[in-house]
Amino acid sequence: MYEVEIKRLDDQGRGIAFIENKITFIKNALPHEVVECKITKKTKKYNLGEVIEYKKKNQKRVDAKCPYFSICGGCSLEHLEYLDTLEFKKEKEKRILEKEHIHYPEIQVIENENPYFYRNKLSLKIMNGAIGFYEENSHTLISIEQCFLARPCLNEAINVLKTFRITNGEVILRCNTNDEILIAIKTKDSLIVNEENFASVKIVGIVLNDQCIYGQPYFYERIHHLLFKISYDAFFQVNPFIASHLFEEVEKNISSTNTVLDLYSGVGVLGLVASKKAKKVISIEIIKNAVLDNIENCKLNKCNNIYPVLGDAKTTLPKIKEDFDTIFVDPPRKGLDKNSLQLLLQSKTKKIIYISCDPFTLARDLKELQSVYEIKKFMLFDMFSYTYHVESLCVLKLK
């Protein structure tokens, strides 16, 4: 057992202390707290620790609402006031940018009006009939009754899921702002699906091992005056309130333009936002159903200047011989691939709007892009409240 003082928080919101000169990451420990802890894992470079007793508490500490807070890896900042979580995210972002010597303007932070019960997607595990999440850094399941980040209708859907009698598998629950729910299940078990059991919730579809077995394999969402069809395997932003602010900001930052490229387009949301101001939008996306949704979304929203292309950005972008004056990039966590980054640098496109859910790969890519581009705007959207994750939007202008 060790008594240590917490020096600061790491990028995942864990307290940092030093035990015998080795950095030790301790969950649920805040700066200036003195804790008695035990080491739960030792590696050559660091230790992981667990608090046994708080000897001195930080005055900013609040009680976490979620009973699974200290064991589940989902939300890591619930022991802070909401505004302090935003300060943590801003400081984290600054540290990462400064490490890569990025020149950035003042960072604007967009708050989440509903920092609890906001997520429209829950990824659950089922083991031996119990439904829940894995404990942090392990494959031990924590059975849960509800998640404090998920929209209430998804928590109700967990009860419906119990009636399916799945023993082992994985489930993704998604919903729209009308509380319509789509369930996607991967399991080798046979299901018991009895409609009477879900009279209390609005289930629009059930997909079992990529086959639709009830209703339809998609749902609709209306955000920012646009209607989106979203298939069970297509990406959509997990926080509809923050997504609407993000779309507004994208719209604000494009003036009348000729040709827009929407790289990593998902179901086409950013291209649809831009289409009224653009002559032409080309979107590129790797998931087939998302591209088909994009085609449908163009019809639903009467946008006939969008050209969705199915393909890997890395190999598709070099084949597109167009001059773009605005490019949106919204890649997955791994950021831009080297080929696409080089093409962006050579393209001399006037404006790039880079949206990212990973500050490390964003900083890596900005380091290259800043040789040709200046970062005019930097915003953090609190898309993933009470977790350590951040969503950023950068507006880059050709120097």
Ligand X SMILES: C[S@@+](CC[C@H](N)C(=O)[O-])C[C@H]1O[C@@H](n2cnc3c(N)ncnc32)[C@H](O)[C@@H]1O
Longest dimension (CA), the chain: 66
Is residue 19 a contact residue for ligand X (CB under 6 A)? no
Rounded least distance, CB 230 to ligand X, Å:
9
Instruction: By CB under 6 A, name the one of 312, 322, 338, 397 that touches ligand X.
Output: 312
Is residue 85 a contact residue for ligand X (CB under 6 A)? no
Is residue 330 a contact residue for ligand X (CB under 6 A)? yes
Q: Based on CB atoms, which residue is closest to ligand X, 58 or 239? A: 239
Is residue 290 a contact residue for ligand X (CB under 6 A)? yes
Rounded least distance, CB 344 to ligand X, Å:
14
Tokens (6 digits) for 195: 């409609």
Is residue 264 a contact residue for ligand X (CB under 6 A)? yes
Instruction: By CB under 6 A, name the one of 86, 110, 270, 353 that touches ligand X.
Output: 270
Q: Based on CB atoms, which residue is closest to ligand X, 17 or 274? A: 274
Rounded least distance, CB 322 to ligand X, Å:
17
Tokens (6 digits) for 323: 């001059």
Is residue 318 a contact residue for ligand X (CB under 6 A)? no
Which of 316, 221, 306 has its CA nearest to residue 270?
306
Rounded least distance, CB 101 to ligand X, Å:
26
Instruction: By CB under 6 A, name the one of 78, 221, 285, 365 that touches ligand X.
Output: 285
Instruction: By CB under 6 A, name the one of 265, 294, 326, 385 that touches ligand X.
Output: 265
Q: To 10 degrees, what angle do helices 359-369 and 82-99 make? A: 40
Instruction: By CB under 6 A, name the one of 37, 226, 284, 369 that touches ligand X.
Output: 284
Is residue 235 a contact residue for ligand X (CB under 6 A)? yes
Interface stretch with ligand X, choices 151-159, 217-225, 330-338, 391-399 (CB under 6 A): 330-338
Site for ligand X in 100-139 (CB under 6 A): none
Instruction: By CB under 6 A, name the one of 97, 269, 390, 396 that touches ligand X.
Output: 269
Which of 274, 221, 284 has its CA nearest to residue 248?
274
Interface stretch with ligand X, choices 127-135, 283-291, 375-383, 390-398 (CB under 6 A): 283-291
Is residue 391 a contact residue for ligand X (CB under 6 A)? no
Is residue 266 a contact residue for ligand X (CB under 6 A)? yes
CA–CA gap between residue 163 and residue 347 (Å, rounded): 55
Amino acid at 46: Y
Considering only CA atoms, give the Rg of the chain.
23
Rounded least distance, CB 179 to ligand X, Å:
21
Q: Based on CB atoms, which residue is closest to ligand X, 284 or 362? A: 284
Rounded least distance, CB 369 to ligand X, Å:
18
Chain centre to alpha carbon of residue 170: 19
Interface stretch with ligand X, choices 259-267, 291-299, 341-349, 363-371 (CB under 6 A): 259-267
Is residue 218 a contact residue for ligand X (CB under 6 A)? no
Q: Based on CB atoms, which residue is closest to ligand X, 115 or 308? A: 308
Instruction: By CB under 6 A, name the one of 69, 104, 118, 236 that touches ligand X.
Output: 236
Q: Based on CB atoms, which residue is closest to ligand X, 9 or 226? A: 226
Which single residue brings its beta carbon nearest to ligand X? 266
Site residues for ligand X per CB under 6 A: 235-237, 264-266, 269-270, 284-287, 290, 312-314, 330-332, 357
